[in-house]
Chains A and B, each alone.
Chain A
């Protein structure tokens, strides 16, 4: 497939990396750049939950005609800090008879899985740790590790309710991973590449070239289905049967406290950001600035750096997740499975068929 746009406008390297390569011998520079990349990702992982905890509390409050945190800092801005300090200083407890190694491994595994997906996410054309050729495949594979964390947590807690909760969320996450993978496959089919960077470039042009609009009507349906499946994959309300804090105890995380609970909490919020980032990459043009075909306006929008657009789009998607959470009632477990196996999977196969037809006919 010939490149759709002039990719020389979007260089792979950035100023910091170039500076380090110029000032250090080869292997040393390589190592420094890797460390810098990992540290910057850690910063994203560390700061995203801080922003999202505040956002979640404020958005939830305003959806319910409340104000939310107002006292700690300006409009409660320091609330996540207070929450975090409280969690860190709580005692870490382990139930009697729990498998110590697995019990403490599980939250780390959960947090690591979401962290690893971020390595292939293109925050900007020069802000991507590595562009794997089969990036989509990598995302699907690594996201599966998160399920391991949940299952191990439930199993090692030596608590039957934790185990039941873990089994429920495991079944749910594995089921919805299928439709999520099918939808990613659809995007791969449409864009003709599995690299996340190339998928973004396949949406270059105006806003109408984003996959949500470019694939007429079905693109929007795909987008909505992707939102639904990723919400379920995140174990997030309205699909939070595993946790269901208003009906059950905490599911797989019942026995966790202090920092090990905070790890699950962190993984949950980072996962939400990852899901939003993937939605942005697949459907909303990733780091590309929205272009409307009006030259002066387009130049202005294009002058804003790509990562700002990326975060703007991602946080808009996160807002939609929150909107879902504070609007919809929770379905039963059987209704959840019905939705996946009787509606989403057939719909995804149908969409895949249509997409294949469009690609073969050369209409895209």
Chain B
């Protein structure tokens, strides 16, 4: 116990006959503190067991989805990032896109090409919106860069196809 005494402020507290602990000793060094420590530990273990058995007995909390079987009813969570899609204006049916090209600049892979055209009033409008899915990493940078909320990540994820050319998507405007 000598080393303990040397490390303290100097005050020595007798805990039992012949046993001395420094007054800044951790509480579980004394017998009662040790037992309290033990009881608290056991209680927390029981708490943990209660938590896990809650998951075990409640099938409603299972989060696994049986994918090909539940294809009809499957809904992805809102933040899921599928392929890119244009947001349309409900009133006119035209895209919200102003053809500013910020998404094209934001894309690190050169996935997007925004081609402009002129309308009847000679204003610059969106002509064709090309999205190359084969190069897209679904990183969401284009959506973040858009000042008009004109593009979004859609929910569909079944995107595989047999021909690479099918991954060259024209989201708006005529096909070439």
A14 close to chain B: CB less than 8 A: no
Contact residues of B: prevailing secondary structure: helix
Cα distance, A104 to B66, chains bound together (Å): 42
A1 close to chain B: CB less than 8 A: no
- Which residues from chain B contact A63 at a C-beta distance below 8 Å? 52-53, 55-56
Inter-chain CB contacts under 8 Å: number: 36
Most buried by B among A59, A65, A67, A70: A65
Q: How far is the CB of B74 from chain A (nearest CB, A)?
A: 15
Q: Is the CB of B52 within 8 A of A323?
A: yes
Cα distance, A64 to B56, chains bound together (Å): 8
Q: Is the CB of B64 within 8 A of A62?
A: no
Cα distance, A327 to B48, chains bound together (Å): 6
**Nearest neighbor of A59 in chain B, beta-carbon distance:** B56
With A67-B64, A70-B66, A343-B38 as given contacts, are A62 and B55 in contact (CB-CB < 8 Å)? yes
B19 close to chain A: CB less than 8 A: no
Q: Is the CB of B52 within 8 A of A66?
A: no
Cα distance, A80 to B48, chains bound together (Å): 29
Q: How far is the CB of B61 from chain A (nearest CB, A)?
A: 5
Q: Is the CB of B48 within 8 A of A65?
A: no
- Which residues from chain A contact B159 at a C-beta distance below 8 Å? none
- Which residues from chain B contact A138 at a C-beta distance below 8 Å? none
Chain B 26-69, CB within 8 Å of chain A: the 1/0 string?
00000000000010000001001101110110000111101000
Q: How far is the CB of B41 from chain A (nearest CB, A)?
A: 10
With A63-B52, A323-B52 as given contacts, are A328 and B45 in contact (CB-CB < 8 Å)? yes
Give residues 283-330 of A contacting B (CB, 8 Å). 323-324, 326-328
Q: Is the CB of A65 within 8 A of B66?
A: no
Q: How far is the CB of A157 from chain B (nearest CB, A)?
A: 35
Q: Is the CB of B63 within 8 A of A65?
A: yes
Give residues 119-140 of B contacting A (CB, 8 Å). none
- Which residues from chain A contact B66 at a C-beta distance below 8 Å? 67, 70
Tell which of B53, B61, B62 touches A323, judged by Cβ atoms closer than 8 Å: B53
Q: Is the CB of B49 within 8 A of A62?
A: no
Cα distance, A70 to B70, chains bound together (Å): 14
Q: Is the CB of A327 within 8 A of B52?
A: yes
- Which residues from chain B contact A328 at a C-beta distance below 8 Å? 45, 48
- Which residues from chain B contact A59 at a C-beta distance below 8 Å? 56
Q: Is the CB of A66 within 8 A of B56?
A: no
Tell which of B38, B51, B53, B63 touches A66, judged by Cβ atoms closer than 8 Å: B63
Tell which of A67, A324, A327 touches B62, judged by Cβ atoms closer than 8 Å: A67
Q: Is the CB of B49 within 8 A of A323?
A: yes
- Which residues from chain A contact B61 at a C-beta distance below 8 Å? 65
Chain A 54-89, CB within 8 Å of chain B: the 1/0 string?
000001011111110010000000000000000000
Cα distance, A324 to B152, chains bound together (Å): 45
Q: Is the CB of B48 within 8 A of A66?
A: no
- Which residues from chain B contact A62 at a C-beta distance below 8 Å? 55-56, 62
Q: Is the CB of B52 within 8 A of A326?
A: yes
- Which residues from chain B contact A67 at a C-beta distance below 8 Å? 62, 64, 66
Q: List 10 A-B contacts (CB under 8 A).
A: A61-B64, A62-B55, A62-B56, A63-B52, A65-B62, A65-B64, A66-B62, A67-B62, A323-B49, A323-B52
User: Chain B interface (Cβ within 8 Å of chain A)?
Assistant: 38, 45, 48-49, 51-53, 55-56, 61-64, 66
User: Chain A interface (Cβ within 8 Å of chain B)?
Assistant: 59, 61-67, 70, 323-324, 326-328, 343
Q: A59-B56, A65-B61, A323-B49 are in contact. List 10 more A-B contacts (CB 8 A).
A: A62-B62, A63-B55, A66-B64, A67-B64, A67-B66, A327-B48, A327-B51, A327-B52, A328-B45, A328-B48
